[in-house]
Amino acid sequence: MAGAILAGAILAGALTDVGAGLRAGIGSGLRPAPVAGAALPAPRTAVEDGRTVVRLTPEERARIGLVSEVRRALPHRQELQAYGLVLDLARVTELTNAYASAKAQLQQARARAEVSGSASRRARNLGQYATTVQVETAEGTYQTDAAALAAAESQLRTLAATAQQEWGPVIGRAIVERAPAVTRLIERADFLMQVTLPPGEALSAAPEAAFAEVPPQSARVALRLVGPAPRTDPRIQGQSFYYLVSGEGGLLPGMSTLAFLPAERAVTGVLVPEDAVVHGQGGTWVYRAVGEGAYVRHPIRTDPPMSNDSYVVEGLSDGAEIVLRGGQALLSEEFKSQIRVSGDDDD
């Protein structure tokens, strides 16, 4: 009985202490801990006028590194996409050496013909002091040397014509003259690229400057015009030009690559770099600003015109603010909002 009374007293004291503690806590301004998930973050996306708008605070834009810029809608000289092939120059080396050898043989033949011609004339001038055998021998030697000279001259002309037929007037003349341009090709300081336009495209004159992509990074290297190619690429059957590309650009003989030539026509639009373009939901897009911190997607054609290594986006207003960096993060935010909406509908 005494034990039960003692236990009841202890329990009553404990309840009294708990009540006092709660009153003290309320009196000191303490509040119960908030329930987890009670304060939800503000949504970053909303559907307005049938389009999804992504809104970010300045802190969020800084965190993802978003960069935007106002760009004008202007006429831009369009680029034509062509096909480049880095040529094997073994034949150029062969023709250059053959022409140099033929030129040396011509000089030797000319020297022999001059000597034998002089000997023949002296023999004839001796008159009665020269025997018939001496005159005939001198004349025969001269005739032989003259024929060798004519053959050497013909060989040199043939090689010069072959060089021009195979490689065009510019490279052909460089082979004949052993110009620095062909020396750089032989030493692989430069490579020769044949650039062929797709069927249906044509240029009245080849652009002085063009570009080619270096696989696999697709970095661009500059091309320098040589002149029209004397033959087309049989795989493409289009208008062809020869360009020089630096041997240090990453291309090698036998490589095929894309090339870009400025066209004679212009297209009006906003110039958008390739890095600003995002891909998703079966389309190609660029983000533009529609207010402070608000962005929407703008579609791009599957084959948009290009100029200066950038897309010319049509349908954008003059002075549109384009997202140059951070578009992928905006697209991810859109996808997350769609996933959340889909999850809510499932519930």
Q: pLDDT per residue over 281-295, tens digit each?
A: 788 999 999 999 999
Mean pLDDT in residue range 138-142: 86
Q: Which residue has the higher pLDDT, 265 or 239?
A: 239
Q: What is the pLDDT, as a whole number, of residue 344?
A: 55
Mean pLDDT in residue range 247-252: 92
Mean pLDDT in residue range 205-224: 89
Q: What is the pLDDT, as a whole number, of residue 20?
A: 43
Angle 143-149-155 from CA coordinates, rounded to 5°: 140
Report percent pLDDT > 90 for the chain. Answer: 58
Domains of the chain, by residue range, sit at 45-79+267-346, 82-87+189-263, 91-184
Helix/strand/coil (H, E, C) string of the chain? CHHHHHHHHHHHHHHHHHHHHHHHHHHCCCCCCCCCCCCCCCCCEEEECCEEEEECCHHHHHHHCCEEEEECEEEEEEEEEEEEEECCCHHHHHHHHHHHHHHHHHHHHHHHHHHHHHHHHHHHHCHHHCCHHHHHHHHHHHHHHHHHHHHHHHHHHHHHHHHHHHHHHHHHHHHHHCCHHHHHHHCCCEEEEEEECCCCCCCCCCCCEEEEEECCCCEEEEEEEEEECCCCCCCCCCCEEEEEEECCCCCCCCCEEEEEEEEEEEEEEEEEEHHHCEEECCEEEEEEEEECCEEEEEEECCCCCEECCEEEECCCCCCEEEEEECHHHHHHHHHHHHHHHHHHHHC
Q: In sequence order, which residues have a C-beta less than 8 Å from that of residue 31 and are 6 or more positions away?
A: none
Residues 296-318: tens digit of each pLDDT: 999 998 888 888 888 999 889 89
Q: Give the architecture-level CATH label for domain 82-87+189-263.
A: Beta Barrel (2.40)
CB-neighbour burial class of residue 166 (10 A; exposed 0-12, middle 13-18, buried 19+): middle
Q: What is the pLDDT, as a whole number, of residue 49?
A: 82
Q: What is the pLDDT, as a whole number, of residue 32?
A: 43
Instruction: Give, to the nearest 10 degrees, the angle between helix 90-125 and helix 132-177.
Output: 150
Q: Where does the pLDDT of residue 48 fall: very low under 50, low under 70, confident under 90, or very high at 90 and above? A: confident
Res. 29: pLDDT tops 60: no
Q: Residue 25, Cα to own-chain centre: how many angstroms?
A: 70
Res. 17: pLDDT tops 60: no
Most confident segment among 18-32, 121-135, 237-251: 237-251
Mean pLDDT in residue range 84-101: 95
Determine the Cα–Cα distance for residues 225 and 181; give it in Å rounded to an integer: 12
Report percent pLDDT > 70 for the chain. Answer: 84
Judging by DSSP bridges, how do beta strands 240-246 and 278-280 pair with one another? unpaired
Determine the Cα–Cα distance for residues 148 and 116; give it in Å rounded to an integer: 12
* Mean residue pLDDT across the chain: 84
Q: Where does the pLDDT of residue 42 fall: very low under 50, low under 70, confident under 90, or very high at 90 and above? A: low
Q: Where does the pLDDT of residue 340 fall: very low under 50, low under 70, confident under 90, or very high at 90 and above? A: low
- Decide if 31 contacts 320 (C-beta within 8 A): no
Res. 339: pLDDT tops 90: no
CATH of domain 45-79+267-346: 2.40.420.20
Phi, then psi, of 181 in degrees rounded to 5: -60, -45
Q: What is the pTM of this model?
A: 0.67
Q: What is the pLDDT, as a whole number, of residue 196?
A: 97
Among 1-10, 44-53, 204-213, the least confident range: 1-10
